[in-house]
Amino acid sequence: MPTQPSKDLETFPNPAPERDYQIHIEIPEFTCLCPKTGQPDFATLILDYIPDQRCVELKSLKLYIWSFRNEGHFHEAVTNRILGDLVQALEPRYARLVARFYVRGGIFTTVVAEHRRAGWQAPARVELMDFPLQSNFR
């Protein structure tokens, strides 16, 4: 039986709940329909989150994203809906969803939605020097 879209987001236990670490997911093939014209809207979704006890299972995320393909949504509404569903399923310490919609009528739209658990504060960022893979010395 072929795989079907689904609104179910599956999770699995975080393998390292004792530490803050970032999970970065890029979804370059998001589609939904314009609620005004019925024409397709295309976007790249960028999800960054810091899990607490659960992580999202990627195949279920793919099927969840696919489930919007034939639904009409305003960009702002669908971005916040997806983030809300992810927050409900994962209860992360932090999550950010960036939705970069492709040009339509000469206009690009980017919507950024964030969730921060009450009381959680991001650790200080550490910047490390990036070394090239090849040395200039011979």
Per-residue pLDDT of 54-86, as tens digits, reads 999 999 999 999 999 999 999 999 999 999 999
Is 2 domain-assigned?
A: no
Q: Which of 20, 34, 52, 85 is catalytic?
A: 34
Residue 130 lies in a domain: no
Quote the number of domains for the chain.
1
Structure tokens at 82: 């997806």
Assess if residue 95 is contained within a domain.
yes
In a domain, 102, yes or no: yes
| Residue 44's CATH number | 3.30.1130.10
Please give the residue range of the domain that contains residue 77.
Answer: 11-15+29-116
Q: Give me the DSSP letters along 6-37.
A: -S---EEE-S-TTS---EEEEEEEEEEE-TTT
User: Average of pLDDT values for 116-120?
Assistant: 94
| 127 lies in some domain | no
Active site residue 34: yes
55 is an active site residue: no
Query: Is residue 55 domain-resident?
Result: yes
Can you give the pTM of this predicted structure?
A: 0.89
pLDDT tens digits along 12-59: 999 999 999 999 999 999 999 999 999 999 999 999 999 999 999 999
